[in-house]
Chain A
Amino acid sequence: MVNAPQVVFVTGASSGIGAAAARELAARGHRVIATMRNPKRDGPAVTRGYKKNLEAVRCDVTDRATVDEAVAFTLERHGRIDALVNNAGYLLLGTIEDLSDDEILSQFDTNVVGSMRTVQAVLPAMREQGSGTIINVSSAAGRMTGPAFGGYSATKYAIEAVSEALRFEVAPWGIKVVIVEPGTHRTEAQFDNLRVAQAVLEGRSLYQGPVEALIEGHRRYAAGRPGPRSVGSIIADLVETGDPLPVRVPVGDEAAQIFSMRAAMTDEEFETALRNLGNEGFPGAYFAAEHELNTN
């Protein structure tokens, strides 16, 4: 029932989409556990104004013990978990050839395995309740990719597959699973929290020029994009909706455009369209700088 306050567990809630979702849910009167790695440092800005129903709690999704503790804390505090928002994740830019084992595995550990850990931790409570909603934050990059985005897209494609399988598995207990696919939003993920392959940081990438152009172009592009409020608001809608949830909910102009292109085009047509996008951001800036590659 929409109007009853829901207990919602949000990961990666220190900033960006996670913080926006937590604050929007709190503004609508729900009880929110906003989890983050460093609540002492990042919590006050997130909980400001909502002291009664929004709490910052420590949880590092790469550390199972902290996940279990945060879930136990939530159950102790509120007696239930109506919804889980799996949002923790980061954007790593680098070409496939440049990414190290450690860079690839770390990103999977946060973006994919991290979401599976929280799912595993909340399911016993949701099963007992006979209800629950799991909202996995994917990305437009969960259904498309491009140069230097392969590592990140791999994690988001993976979370889409995980979510689709999970939907079948937990449906018998009345537990709903939905994938949210935002396009580019002006969040810390695109700026301070953006990670770049070490090879590029050290200036030794064979793809140096195009990747640098891409990073700069992507940041400039992201700066003109909307902030995360609409994504937070749509996540709150999904927590509240009593209807069955669809598999995917794309958010905003960019995701809708990409998916309608994808649906209408063959893979080869889509590839050509990406090459011809010609904007300053992703992937236009990369293609514009491709002439700098030493291909002899």
Chain B
Amino acid sequence: MAIDPRVTIITGASRGFGAAIARELAERGHQAVATMRNPDRDGAAVVKGYEGNIQVTRCDVTDTSTVESAVAFALERHGRIDAVVNNAGYGLIGAIEELQDEELHRLMDTNVTGVIRMVRAVMPAMRRQGGGKILNVSSLAGRISGPAFGGYCGSKHALEGLSEALRYEVAPFGVEVSLITVGAFRTSIQWTGNELTRTLREGRSLYQEPCEAFIQGEKDRATLLPGPRSVAAVIADAVEFADPLPLRIPVGFDTSRVEAVRAKMTDDEFAAMISGMRNTGFPGSWFGTVERQQKEGVL
């Protein structure tokens, strides 16, 4: 009944989902190459207790040479790569109108092009092996969108589009591609993993109050959410099992619910529901604040 040890390379493994994935795979006896931008600073905490199963190496997904050297490191060490988990990514908060070219370029460079760089780097080995798994960590933000989060949602929608194409392209080589649709969890992205657009940082955004309400709402809600362990377990399952991978694997208590709601509604019905939300968190805190500002005559 035991599963053969698998070799998996993970991006963005310094903390959050990436670190949890590396540690969950190690716990199950697999080999995990945990990649991160600053292994000297962040590596020891990830490896702790799993010295024989986790190797840390430097990889900045925005830098092709480090992606290639991380893949070379994994191949030299293990002779093969059974799976890659493209997890590196971050959020950007701000209204579309105010997002800067430079902010968008960096966001897409990490969340979208970063994945493609890793795919390019591992495909030769996977093609040689005659198989492999590419697991792209997406989000409900890849299926729905809302105010103040358009940049991030755009990057995750892009990831969904490219993953679906990639699935067709590499299937003939036995390489499987799957999107992990992650719902609401308490990870560092709610605290420090989100970048704020410049106007917002400088306190002069035309959308300052609703954006701040959104950020506060996310922070408040995060305290009610579970940590990343189950996401890691579901991804480790996807690394392990022998069956064909589906295009999408949802994980999270709210993920299937949101997807089911979205699937049942027309675009207009869904938009009406989203705009009608007034609870905290995404996107209700935004609409609640806009409504109040309108009443007060600010907007």
Contact = CB atoms under 8 A, between A and B. Distances in A.
Interface of A: 1-3, 24, 28, 178, 186, 191, 223-227, 229-230, 232-234, 236-238, 240-243, 245-254, 256-257, 259, 263, 279
Interface string B241-270: 111011011111110110010010000000
B15 interface: no
Contacts of A251: 234
Given A229-B233, A243-B253, 8 more contacts: A1-B224, A2-B186, A24-B229, A229-B237, A233-B229, A243-B254, A249-B253, A250-B250
A83 to B, nearest CB: 13
B184 A243 contact: yes
B137 to A, nearest CB: 15
Contacts of A1: 223-224
B226 A237 contact: yes
Interface residues of B, number: 37
A230 B237 contact: yes
Contacts of B241: 224-226, 253
B28 interface: yes
B245 A245 contact: no
A256 B251 CA distance: 9
B198 interface: no
Nearest to A185: B237
Given A186-B1, A226-B236, A259 B256 contact: yes
Interface in B245-298: 245-246, 248-254, 256-257, 260, 263
Contact of A2 (B28, B224, B229, B242): B224
A178 B260 CA distance: 16
A191 B1 CA distance: 10
B200 interface: no
B256 A253 contact: no
B240 interface: yes
A227 B254 CA distance: 23
Given A229-B236, A230-B236, A253-B245, A246 B230 contact: no
Contacts of B250: 250, 256
B263 A263 contact: yes
B167 interface: no
A204 to B, nearest CB: 31
A173 B225 CA distance: 22
A230 B233 contact: yes
Contacts of B238: 253
B143 interface: no
A3 B257 CA distance: 24
B256 A256 contact: yes
B226 A256 contact: no
A253 B248 CA distance: 8
B254 to A, nearest CB: 6
Contacts of A191: 1
Contacts of B242: 224-225
Contact of B224 (A238, A241, A246): A241
B219 interface: no
Contact of A233 (B233, B240, B249, B257): B233
